Amino acid sequence: MKILVIGSGGREHAIITALSKSKRLTEIHAAPGNGGIAELATCHDVKATDIPGMVKLAQEINADWVFVAPDDPLVLGMVDSLNENGFATFGPRKNAAILEGSKHFSKDFMKRHAIPTADYESFTDSATANAYIKAKDSYPCVIKCDGLALGKGVIIAEDETAAFTAVKDILDGGKFGGAGGRIVIEEYLEGVEVTVLAFTDGKTVVPFPASTDHKRALDGDKGLNTGGMGVVAPVPYYTAEIADECMEKIFLPTIKGMAEEGRAFKGCIYFGLMISPTFPDKCSAKVIEYNCRFGDPETQALLPLLETDLLDIIESVWEEKLDTLDINFSNLKSACVVMASGGYPEKYSTGFTISGIEATANPQDGVHVFHAGTRIQNSELVTAGGRVLNVVGIGETLENALEKAYSAVKSITFEGAHYRTDIGKKAIT
């Protein structure tokens, strides 16, 4: 089996690490890849969003499978083009990736299928949006760009002035370009956030253990929103009862609804959930967002817990036979701490030497170091992005997993390195 993985972050490094364990794998390629991925795969300098370039590369290397990991190429329809050119793929086609590509679509979809989510309306015109905000008169309220906006298109407005400003910036000021041509305004939900990733072939849903990301840059959930600064899994407050409720009211209706609408979703679906026992109608979980892909950094914490061959899984998803495969996860706990460049998510410098990884990473002992933003420069590993490394600890308890991750983090150095010191605190107290 010859496989090409699209992407260049810690998520892709974790995916490639998991695929590399498969006995059936003969060759692995990545585009564009990074400094860590280059140790396992042949990296090709093709941009993740370059659809014709990627089809050409798949033809050149004669790939058996193409695994499309990031949101942009999925939403742009890379899977469709690869399929039309005869390649087997992992990832949803464009008409299913819209679940992440358009919040307006996903909110209307949930309404059509009675899937629990925050109340909302969509707008393209600021005067009508402002009239809705005034009539609701309930704060905070949440204002979201319809399209992909690098995780920055969600504004939690604390009062009317902030809400009007957000509407004006997005709809009239074009702050997020085409992604903000339409907005969704929705009710603010109180609770704890949980991510559930699941494999699906369009019929069967197989969830991973629940995880929780830490989106803010600084300890105590302070500072700016980031792509994610750390993850723990599983989370104790995602109980077996809540898991059953989510399967019945959210996961299966989503997959069934998409199939009924001629948008069968095949790949990994990301359910961003708000959990609160105080929601009305005895409903404990509501959907905050769908993503059409593996989460980053959730994947880095979760894939080391997967005991089943990932290649077998992607094959059964492609062949729509997921119900015939036994998928097992270890009972161990996982913690991922993100080491970022000083200044991230705002301005930061790159090109700093990274040291200490080799002496620290020890997968046999439950310490994994995935590269998120690194490159090789003059035979040396240097920083090349905002999020640089994802350090994962696997242990018998969450405390033990966190100890392993933080002990490894302390042994790795690069100039300006920043990480949160409170990952998982809420899950263990």
* Contact string (CB under 6 A) for ligand AMP, positions 382-401, x = contact: --------------------
Distance (Å, whole) CA 78 – CA 84: 10
Smallest distance, ligand AMP to C-beta of residue 183, A: 12
Pick 213 or 245: Cβ nearer ligand GLY? 213
Stretch of 49-57, 73-81, 163-171, 186-194 contacting ligand AMP, by CB under 6 A: 186-194
Q: Does 296 bind ligand GLY (CB under 6 A)?
A: yes
Q: Which does 295 bind (CB under 5 to 8 A by kind): ligand AMP, ligand GLY, none?
A: ligand GLY
Stretch of 188-196, 275-283, 371-379, 394-402 contacting ligand AMP, by CB under 6 A: 188-196
Q: Does 298 bind ligand GLY (CB under 6 A)?
A: yes
Stretch of 38-46, 111-119, 166-174, 292-300 contacting ligand GLY, by CB under 6 A: 292-300
Position closest to ligand GLY via CB: 295
Using CB under 6 A, which of 36, 207, 267, 295 touches ligand GLY? 295
Smallest distance, ligand GLY to C-beta of residue 297, A: 6
CA terminus-to-terminus distance, the chain: 45
Q: Which does 298 bind (CB under 5 to 8 A by kind): ligand AMP, ligand GLY, none?
A: ligand GLY
Using CB under 6 A, which of 64, 186, 201, 309 touches ligand AMP? 186
Position closest to ligand AMP via CB: 289
DSSP 89-135: EES--HHHHHHHH-HHHHHHHHHHTT--B--EEEES-HHHHHHHHHH
Smallest distance, ligand GLY to C-beta of residue 294, A: 8
Distance (Å, whole) CA 293 – CA 100: 9
Distance (Å, whole) CA 256 – CA 112: 12
**Contacts (CB under 6 A) with ligand GLY, residues 209-268:** 213, 228
Cα–Cα distances in Å, from 281 out to 189, 277, 286, 322, 394? 15, 10, 12, 33, 38
Distance (Å, whole) CA 86 – CA 83: 5
Q: Please name the helix (run of DSSP H) or strand (run of DSSP E) that holds residue 99, with its range, or none.
A: helix 94-101
Stretch of 74-82, 196-204, 288-296, 326-334 contacting ligand GLY, by CB under 6 A: 288-296
Pairing of strands 367-371, 154-157: unpaired
Q: Cα Rg for the chain, rounded, in angstroms? A: 21
Pick 3 or 148: Cβ nearer ligand GLY? 148
Q: Does 142 bind ligand AMP (CB under 6 A)?
A: yes
Bridge partners, 366 (sequence order): none
Q: Which does 154 bind (CB under 5 to 8 A by kind): ligand AMP, ligand GLY, none?
A: ligand AMP
Q: Which of these, 5, 140, 162, lies nearest to 69 by C-alpha position?
A: 5
Smallest distance, ligand AMP to C-beta of residue 123, A: 16
Using CB under 6 A, which of 27, 39, 160, 193 touches ligand AMP? 193
Pick 296 or 315: Cβ nearer ligand GLY? 296
Contact 273, 287 (CB under 8 A): yes
Buried b (16+ CB within 10 A) or exposed e, 53-67: ebbebbeebebbbbb
Tell me the HSE value of 17 on the side-chain side, using a 13 A CA sphere.
Answer: 22
Coil, helix or strand at residue 147: coil
Environment class of 307 (CB within 10 Å of its CB; exposed 0-12, middle 13-18, buried 19+): exposed
Distance (Å, whole) CA 117 – CA 283: 10
Pick 55 or 336: Cβ nearer ligand GLY? 336
Look at the block and give the residue holding tokens 């809540």.
242
Smallest distance, ligand GLY to C-beta of residue 135, A: 32
Binding residues for ligand AMP (CB under 6 A): 118, 142, 144, 154, 186, 188-189, 193, 215, 272, 288-289
